[in-house]
Structure formats: structure tokens, C-alpha cells
């Protein structure tokens, strides 16, 4: 299984974002957290900033929308050319229609679930998406502790993906670091978002390499 490490720029220096994305060129994708101060109690940036990042980033953008009314806004991020656009299932009135709108515009479509949201209703929709993001903290802020109680959702997802022979990436986000990434890999994750565990280190390249090795050692 291919392991992907996606550093989250939520933990980067916001006044030097071009430099901050250039520093993580050895990663797979740059994870871009869009927050609206409504779906989550934090505010980051919107389409203008994502469009600019898209034009300067050495690696593709993995956009994570933590915004209300995802049906309305998600397709626009795909139109910007983002590699993937993930929206929260809790914030969408029609998950399938929104995923299709993202795919129709050429991006990979992802759905995300908060720690308290059951995954069962979405297991039968996996053919409609390219990736599923299991939040391993309450969305909104970096630097929180990994929630191991979310791991049964990954196991259920991995089992469903295997059973149906699908190529759906399983992503985790929140508290991913050297001491937790193996737990998530063991449970079935293949794509790992890490904010403070990358940008909190002096050597971001070293952090990416170590996280990749730790995840690979636990992937089966
Ligand atoms: O989506 C997020 C928060 O909602 C961030 O991507 C996540 O918290 C990354 O930060 P860290 O790795 O420090 O937990």
C-alpha cells in the first residue's frame, strides 16, 4: 500500500506561505485547511488564497473544507484546480451530488467525518468518492491529541474498500506524529495529515521522512 504524507499548513507561518509550501516539496500533497468560523470555531482563508497557493506550490493541493453549506462551495475549489477537495459529510445536504460535482470538475472528491460521526451510512457510498478523511481530533485547531477511539471507523473503511476492490484513499488528520502514525496505519489509513509534527520541527524534510518510514512499517 502506498503511504502518503500531507503536511498541514495550518501549522505553518501564514505570512510566508509560499516559502512554507516550498519547504515541504518532499511530501506528497499539501493539506490546506479552509475554515469558516461557522462549521468550526476557527477562520483561515478562502478561494483567493487557495488559488494563489495552487499557483506557487511545488506539490498538489489537498483541500479540506471545514465549512458549512459544502454543497454550495465545494465545486468552486475543484474549479481552482485543487488535486483533491474534501468536504464534511455533516455539512452537506447531498453528499453524493457534491462528490459528483467535484469529480465532474476534475478533482478527487473526498468526504470527511468528525470523531463523533458514525461511518456506517457512508460505507455504501464509497464508489462515489476517491478518499475518506477520518478526523482524529475535533476539527478546528492543530496541536491536539490523537483520539484512538476513532480507529474502528478506519478498520470498517479498510474492510469495505478491500471487500469491494476499490481504490479509495483513507486519510487521518489530527494529532498524527511519530508515536501515533503507526496506530492509524495499522488500522488501515494510507494517507496522513500532520501539522505540528512537520512544521514544529527544525527539519521538515527529516520529519516527513520519519513519518513516512513509521507509517510504512505499520502498513499491511
Ligand atoms: O484539520 C486540522 C484541524 O482541524 C489540521 O489539519 C490538523 O489539526 C493538523 O494539525 P496537527 O497535526 O497539529 O494535529
Q: Is the confidence at residue 220, as pLDDT, over 90?
A: no
Residue nearest to atom 8 of ligand 1 (CA): 142
For residues 174-186, average pLDDT: 98
Distance 101 CA to ligand 1 centre (A): 26
Distance 194 CA to ligand 1 centre (A): 6
Report phi then psi at 2, rounded to 5: -80, 130
Probe ligand 1: pick from 193, 194, 197, 200, max atoms within 8 Å of CB?
A: 193
ipTM of the prediction: 0.97
Question: pLDDT band at 51, cuts 50/70/90?
Answer: very high
pTM assigned to the model = 0.98
Q: Domains (ranges, CATH) in the chain? A: 4-218 (3.20.20.70)
Distance 147 CA to ligand 1 centre (A): 12
Q: If you ran DSSP here, which 8-state letter would residue 129 be given? A: -
Question: pLDDT band at 125, cuts 50/70/90?
Answer: very high
Probe ligand 1: pick from 5, 39, 173, max atoms within 8 Å of CB?
A: 173
C-alpha torsion 51→53→59→65, nearest 10: -70
Residues in binding site for a divalent metal cation: 31, 33, 64, 173
Answer yes or no: are the C-beta atoms of 10 and 2 closer than 8 Å.
no
Amino acid at each position: 500500500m502506498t503511504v502518503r504524507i500531507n503536511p498541514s499548513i495550518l501549522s505553518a507561518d501564514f505570512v510566508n506561505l509560499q516559502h512554507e509550501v516550498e519547504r515541504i516539496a518532499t511530501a506528497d500533497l499539501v493539506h490546506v485547511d479552509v475554515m469558516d468560523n461557522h462549521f468550526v470555531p476557527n477562520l483561515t482563508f478562502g478561494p483567493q488564497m487557495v488559488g494563489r497557493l495552487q499557483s506557487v506550490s511545488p506539490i498538489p493541493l489537498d483541500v479540506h473544507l471545514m465549512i458549512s453549506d459544502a454543497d454550495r462551495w465545494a465545486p468552486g475549489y475543484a474549479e481552482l484546480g485543487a488535486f483533491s477537495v474534501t468536504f464534511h459529510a455533516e455539512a452537506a445536504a447531498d453528499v453524493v451530488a457534491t462528490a459528483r460535482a467535484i469529480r465532474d470538475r476534475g478533482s478527487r472528491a473526498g468526504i470527511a467525518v468528525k470523531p463523533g460521526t458514525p461511518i456506517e451510512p457512508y460505507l455504501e457510498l464509497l464508489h462515489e468518492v476517491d478518499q475518506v478523511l477520518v478526523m482524529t481530533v475535533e476539527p478546528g485547531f492543530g496541536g491536539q491529541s490523537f483520539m484512538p477511539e476513532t480507529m474502528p471507523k478506519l478498520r470498517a473503511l479498510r474492510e469495505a474498500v478491500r471487500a469491494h476492490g476499490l481504490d479509495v484513499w483513507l486519510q487521518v488528520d489530527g494529532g498524527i506524529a511519530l508515536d501515533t502514525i503507526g496506530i492509524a496505519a495499522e488500522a488501515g489509513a494510507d494517507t496522513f495529515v500532520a501539522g505540528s509534527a512537520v512544521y514544529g520541527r527544525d527539519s521538515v524534510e527529516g520529519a516527513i521522512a520519519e513519518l513516512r518510514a513509521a507509517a510504512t512499517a505499520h502498513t499491511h
